[in-house]
Structure 1
Amino acid sequence: MEHISNYNLHKDDFSKLHFEINDAKPYLLKNLTHATIPHRHSFYQIIWFKNAGKHYIDYKIIEHPENTIFFINTNQIHYFCPDSSNEGFLFHFNDYFISQFNPEFTERFSLSVFNEIGKPYLQLSEKNAERFLVLTKVIQDEIAINDIFMKEQVYSIFASLLFLIERLKTKEAKIDFTLNTDFKLAYLFKEEVYKSKESFFNIEHYSNLLHTNNKKLTSVVKQYLGNTPANIIISIKILEAKRRLANGKFSIQEIAYDLGFDQPTYFTKYFKKATGITPKEFQSSILP
């Protein structure tokens, strides 16, 4: 069983920038053996693919058009498809990079950009791709020069990129991320389910936790997440099960208990009902 590696960015070294930008193709060729197999990061990643191609996120191959921006959240499993051109840019950054300049923006961008709601990518128009390229090149120049106030300059320009992405996502989804309380409720529900994925809580638990009622929570979750709260709870538990099964470090029995199942047999039934295959069959299906 192939172990799924977890990569960090400037871990615990706060003298570093906690941000980096790379040309995607050379970076991929340099890290080919790691980047083309399933892996995860403790940092955020924005990938700008200039050409149409494919990318793998959370056990799905996603075909994308040209000038596509992907948003890889922390701990999401993904990899680069070697049969795609993969021309473009990679942006890596930690919460620390954002929060050291403006702590409020850490939550804001996690809500508006890295929310794992809807499509995992955004397509840029030709005009916006040109703007994106200009800002990208300025960031690269700032890092290369490494002059006084370089960190502040890089943050300021990169924040402009994030605001541009936020604006485009807002227009595409017709949601004002800063004002729409219903969207925030749906997002917070999903966030709380992730936090308690080792437990079995029903919708009433989350309604009480989020100071709302079952009817309201069901309504906004259906509207913004496209599914019922019960199905969202199941999908997140199954996704976590897949991540742990793919890790290769733990037995199916250990994973079952860690995810709140009283018996491994119940976990097997639960997993098969949701996916159509057993946990063991899933592990075999992702062997290299």
Structure 2
Amino acid sequence: MIQSIPTIDICTLADDIRQDEILISRFANYLEAHKNLFFPHRHSFFHLVLFTAGGGSHTIDFEKFEVNAGQIYFMVPGQVHSWNFEGFTDGYIINFSGSFIQSFLLRSGYLDNFSFLSSTNPGDGVINIPADHLPAIVTLFENIVAEVDHQRALGSDMVKLLMLQVFILLGRIQGKDESRGKQGYNHTLIRNFQKMIEQHYIDVKLPKDYAEMLYITPNHLNAVCKDVLGLAAGEVIRNRTLLEAKRLLTNPKLSISEIAFTLNFNDNSYFTKFFKKSEGITPEEFRKKTLNNKS
């Protein structure tokens, strides 16, 4: 796969290369240390930021969100984002590998209960915390920072416990934890479908092929997608291809033909027709618009 956007590892951001599973910092300090991270990039790890001050915007997979105090956002590995802050911006940042938390849990799929840790939809990862819940969340982040600063015995375990408290409180705020429990089978099926798409979207384009891999009928897959996601199964597959096309188009060194070939389209014209049908503009127009916004 041609990579158009740089991928950042935790070890490249930490002063101590041994801290390859987690990085915790006050956000203003993080921004000062990594001034070059305003450009579009992706991470190989989970990434979360709680804003306590600041303005401007940030973008996750080409969807723009306004920065507000009391907002927290999550990104799963592979998503692309950039920042355009206005004025002094502060809060907390935690970068962590999936294994950091999972090593503490007996249930391997526990983190999938939280949409902000399992969904690739940018909107699921951005939460504006109600004012009456914010003090409790901020206190948890302060305790996490204190554990890192003081390096107490079993500090790593305490950080994991505090992070789980953050996740559970945010899950309650979102109000999705109960509905997920009631519809466990459907949500598990959708998660598996999305994981398969992530692995095969270049080579496998048809819902019937995914249904076969999931040991269900195409009609069943389509019905569950419409029930849980509000989209047909084919649209879910096309959206993932479209997202990768957008990511590749941010690299001006790649021709439209090269991108079409990378995404397994038969020819350039078919790719252009596919893209314009979804976005309303051609790939060339999208590229010009995106690069102008970046500059």
Per the TM superposition, whether the score is higher than 0.5 is: yes
**Residues 218-238 of structure 1, C-alpha deviation per residue, up to 9 Å, x if partnerless?**
222122222111111111101
Q: Aligned AA for 1:23?
A: R
- Rounded to whole Å, the distance in 1 between the matches of 2:89 and 2:208 is 45
Return closer, same or farther for 1:7/1:179 CA change in 2, 3 Å cut-off. Answer: same
Higher deviation after alignment, 248-257 or 212-221: 248-257
Out of 147, 164, 169, which is 1:164 matched to?
A: 169
- Alignment partner of 1:102 is 2:85: no
- Work out the percentage of aligned pairs sharing the same amino acid: 26
Please give the residue correspondences for 1:119-198 in structure 2 after superposition, counting only pairs within 5 Å: 119-169=124-174, 171-172=175-176, 175-177=179-181, 180-198=184-202
Contact 1:111 1:187 (8 Å CA) reproduced:
no
Question: Do the aligned partners of 2:56 and 2:85 also contact (CA within 8 Å) in 1?
Answer: no
Q: Check conservation: 2:59, 2:81, Cα contact below 8 A.
A: yes
Runs of at least 5 residues in structure 2 that lack an aligned partner in the other structure: none
Q: Which moved more, 1:147-156 or 1:68-77?
A: 147-156
Q: Is the 8 A contact 1:48 1:69 kept in 2?
A: yes
Q: How does 1:13-162 map to 2 (within 5 A)?
A: 15-16=18-19, 18-32=21-35, 34-50=36-52, 54-63=57-66, 66-83=69-86, 86-102=89-105, 104-105=107-108, 107-112=109-114, 113-114=116-117, 115-117=119-121, 119-162=124-167
- Distance apart, 1:9 and its partner CA: 0.6
Superposed displacement of residue 53, structure 1: 5.3
Q: CA deviation at 1:42?
A: 0.7
Report the TM-score, using the length of structure 1 for normalisation: 0.86
Q: Structure 2 counterpart of 1:50, which letter?
A: T
Distance 1:253 1:120 in 2: 33
Q: Which residue of structure 1 aligns with residue 7 of structure 2?
A: 6
Shift of 1:64: 5.8
Bigger mean CA deviation after superposition, 230-239 or 179-188 = 179-188
Q: Distance in 2 between matches of 1:190 and 1:6?
A: 21
- Which deviates further from its counterpart, 229-238 or 218-227? 218-227
1:240-259 equivalent positions in 2, closer than 5 A? 240-248=244-252, 250-259=254-263
**1:240 alignment partner AA:** E
Structure-2 separation of matches of 1:110 and 1:147: 30
What's the TM-score, normalizing by structure 2? 0.84
Equivalent residue for 2:222, pick from 211, 218, 223: 218
* 1:207 corresponds to: 211
Shift of 1:136: 1.0
State the alpha-carbon separation in 1 of the partners of residues 182 and 167 from structure 2: 14
1:248 is displaced (CA, Å) by: 4.5
Structure 1 segments unaligned to the other structure (5+ residues): none
SS of the residue aligned with 1:74? Answer: coil
| Number of residue pairs matched by the alignment | 282
Write the deviation string for residues 123-144 of structure 1: whole angstroms up to 9, x where unpaired. 2223321111111111111111
The 4+ residue runs of structure 1 with deviation greater than 4 A are none
**1:269 matched residue in structure 2:** 273
Q: Partners in 2 of 1:68 and 1:232 — Cα distance? A: 28
Q: Could you say what secondary structure the match of 1:187 adopts?
A: helix
